[in-house]
Each structure stands twice: as structure tokens, then as C-alpha cells.
């Protein structure tokens, strides 16, 4: 009761952000950014200011036990203060899901940064009225935001697209999130219906910066150091979150911070280190060999692109059936 009384007295004014301007955030990606992958990134590329978890889906029937929440986010992320400080804990919910219970468990575990996934374009997620579907129903969206804000006293952010079918409600969504006390808004500059087609329209991020006072985090088609620089210069956004560009170049934050130039030799060297480090982690898991191989393939869609004969190497890697075949290809880089 004391926690709820304290929260009920809390203004919807935005809380101070735990991250500085021009932070680089490794984006949440379903099926990829679990604790084993995030630890690989934090260990090898600490230049990333934050890494985000893949989303925890709030249940519709029957609350999760605390151990389920902890297992999803990763026990070491809970036990290690530095890992916890650098982690954004993402969730996905719907108007009718057990949002209050799920948020309360996240809060009581001591996690200090909760992000709401309002950008997932998955047909299954949207069919159940979650993810980016909520951008089409502002009444349901407001209800969800109010529930989270009233039960989570720490940093609460939302990751959105510019709309569901179109951008008609874009500014209304921004103002709703600001009015209800969301502390920062990450914008993937496409609609849900656009999925990942075409080019992300950075002008939406610029418009958002000009429309609300809430800090804006830009996202979408950020692949290189030059892209990061141009994004900040053009949109004037607070920070950036990078997904596919981070999968292509996991050391991108290092390049940006250090001024190093990417090249074939560096890329080959980092690719080998990245895969070996990740595989060392997942190889310790009680998991079938085939699933371990699938995990390596899941992070491989973009990383070979800038190598000489990259398409052929990627094709061979994705067709590999054993770890020996995979690492033979990596050793040949």
C-alpha cells in the first residue's frame, strides 16, 4: 500500500532521464537480445550506453510467477548492478492483459527502466491488440499507459512507430504519451503497415522533436557512423536506438566513440571475435546442438554484407549444418 500511495501522489511530469544526450542504445529484438546475447555485447562492446531486452509479454490469463519474469530478463541482469544499470527492460501488453501485475513484479525486482513495446508489427501480436495495434486505439493506449505509469515510479519509456496504417494520429500519440508522463519516446520512422519496407522517414523524428518536450530517441535505418552523425544533425533528437545496423556492425558504437574507420580487416577480425564470444556463452546452455546453430544463424542476416564475396559467405554460413562448418567459414575471413 505504501508503494501505491507514493505512486498515486507522483506527478505525471517526466522524470530525469538515466541517460545522457547522444546515447547509443542497442535495440530490443525478439528472439535475439536475451541475457546471453546482451552479455556478449556488454562484454565485447561496452561503448554501447544501453542494451534492451527482448519483450516480456504480459499474460492475459494467470499472472506470471516472479521467477518467470526473472528468467526472461536474465538472473545475472538482476544480480549484477552494472548490467542492470545498462539494461532497458522491455514489455509488451494489451488493454486486457495483466499489465498491473506484470509491471508490479518488474518494479519489485528493482529494475529501474521499463520500456513499452508499441512498435512490434507482428501479425500475431497485432491480432491480439498489442504492439503497434495500440497506436490505432488511443483510448486503449491511454489506459495501458496510465496503468504502467501509476505502478512504475522509475524511468518509463515507449517505443512506437509513426502510426498503424498511416500517420494520421502521429502527433496525437506523441501528445498522449507526453501528457501521461512517459519519460522518453523512441520512434521507428515507419508505420506498422510499412513493416521494414522502403526507407525510414527521419523527418518524422524531426517533427516529434518540434512537437513535444519529451526527449525523442530516433530509430530506423541507422547503419554507419555517418548515419548516426547525420541523424543527430538533422533530427536534433536526444539519442538513437539501433537495431539492424547493430546486428550488421555490433562494434558500431566503438567506431562512433573512437573515430576508428571500419575496413575489411577490422570487420573480419571483429566478426570472428563476436561469434566466438557468443557461442562460448550458448555452448554452456543445456540446449540441443541444432538450436545453438540456429542462434548463430539468427544474428547473421546483415553482418557479412560489407565483406568481399559477402553474399556467398553469408549463404554458405546460413546453409551450414554443424558448428565446424560455421567456424571454418569464419576462419576463412
Report, as residue numbers or ranges, the catalytic residues: 120
Residue showing cell 576463412:
332
* DSSP E strand stretches across 81-238: 87-92, 113-118, 155-161, 184-188, 216-219
Burial class (CB within 10 angstroms; exposed 0-12, middle 13-18, buried 19+) of 57: buried
Strand, coil or helix: 25: strand
113-118/87-92 β-pairing: parallel
Is the Cβ–Cβ distance between 153 and 185 less than 8 Å?
A: no
Distance CA 37, CA 50 (A): 13
Q: State whether the Cα torsion 123-126-132-137 is positive or negative.
A: positive
Residue 250 phi, psi (nearest 5): -55, -20
The CA distance from 47 to 44, in Å, is 9
Provide the phi-psi class of 220: left if phi over 0, else alpha when psi is between -120 and 50, else beta: left
List the Cα angle 28/297/283 in 5-degree steps: 90
How far is Cα of residue 74 from the mean position of the Cα atoms in its chain?
15
Question: Angle at CA 116, nearest 5°, toward 20 and 278?
Answer: 75
Amino acid at each position: 500500500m505504501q508503494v501505491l500511495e507514493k505512486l498515486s501522489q507522483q506527478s505525471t511530469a517526466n522524470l530525469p532521464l538515466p541517460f545522457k544526450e547522444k546515447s547509443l542504445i542497442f535495440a530490443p529484438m525478439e528472439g535475439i537480445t536475451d541475457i546471453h546475447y546482451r552479455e556478449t555485447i556488454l562484454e565485447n562492446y561496452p561503448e554501447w550506453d544501453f542494451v534492451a531486452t527482448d519483450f516480456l509479454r504480459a499474460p492475459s490469463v494467470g499472472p506470471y510467477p516472479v521467477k518467470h519474469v526473472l528468467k526472461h530478463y536474465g538472473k545475472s541482469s538482476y544480480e549484477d548492478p552494472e548490467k542492470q544499470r545498462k539494461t532497458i527492460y522491455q514489455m509488451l501488453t494489451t488493454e486486457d492483459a495483466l499489465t498491473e501485475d506484470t509491471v508490479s513484479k518488474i518494479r519489485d525486482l528493482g529494475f529501474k527502466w521499463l520500456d513499452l513495446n508499441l512498435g512490434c508489427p507482428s501479425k500475431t501480436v497485432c491480432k491480439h491488440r498489442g504492439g503497434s495495434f495500440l497506436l490505432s486505439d488511443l483510448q486503449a493506449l491511454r489506459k495501458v499507459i496510465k496503468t504502467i505509469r501509476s505502478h512504475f515510479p522509475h524511468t518509463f519509456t515507449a517505443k512506437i512507430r509513426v502510426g498503424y496504417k498511416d500517420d494520421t494520429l502521429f502527433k496525437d500519440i506523441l501528445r498522449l504519451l507526453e501528457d501521461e508522463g512517459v519519460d522518453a519516446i523512441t520512434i521507428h520512422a515507419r508505420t506498422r503497415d510499412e513493416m521494414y519496407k522502403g526507407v525510414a522517414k527521419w523527418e518524422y523524428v524531426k517533427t516529434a522533436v518540434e512537437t513535444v518536450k519529451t526527449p525523442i530517441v530516433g530509430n530506423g535505418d541507422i547503419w554507419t557512423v555517418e548515419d548516426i552523425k547525420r541523424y543527430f544533425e538533422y533530427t536534433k533528437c536526444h539519442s538513437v536506438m539501433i537495431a539492424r545496423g547493430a546486428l550488421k556492425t555490433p562494434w558500431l558504437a566503438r567506431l562512433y566513440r573512437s573515430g576508428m574507420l571500419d575496413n575489411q580487416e577490422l570487420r573480419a577480425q571483429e566478426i570472428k571475435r563476436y561469434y566466438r564470444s557468443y557461442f562460448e556463452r550458448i555452448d554452456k546452455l543445456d540446449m540441443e546442438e541444432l538450436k545453438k546453430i540456429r542462434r548463430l544463424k539468427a544474428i547473421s542476416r546483415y553482418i557479412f554484407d560489407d565483406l568481399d564475396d559477402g553474399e556467398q559467405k553469408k549463404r554458405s554460413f546460413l546453409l551450414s549444418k554443424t558448428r565446424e562448418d560455421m567456424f571454418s567459414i569464419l576462419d576463412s575471413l
